Amino acid sequence: MNPKGSKMVTKLLERLHFGRQEIKIADMLIEHHMRPISLGQAPILTDRAVYRLFRDIGDNLVDLMLLTLSDCYSYRRLKTKKTVELKKQKLVVKKLINRVFQ
């Protein structure tokens, strides 16, 4: 959970006159943005883990995947030893997005 980031985004979106639903979605995305990274570090991507993620995120899964990838690119790309992790994360995101559209 990232209460500091969530508070910052909530204040910013309120100041920009976003609706309650958009603010709620942004808050949820911030709260869960590390979950796909955790799934990518697991030895096996189980159906149960994918189901729980889908259940918790709902229709915003593609948005979460894009946020997760942008988060990974923002710091892992700068570290050359982390490129293997980045490739693995891209593969996990691709698998999850494919499951959304199946």
Where are the domains positioned within the chain?
Answer: 3-100
Residue in 37, 32, 48, 20 with CA at minimum distance from that of residue 73: 37
Confidence tier at 78 by pLDDT (50, 70, 90): low
CB atoms within 10 A of CB 21: 8
User: 12-59 pLDDT, tens per residue?
Assistant: 999 999 999 999 999 999 989 888 888 888 888 888 988 899 999 988
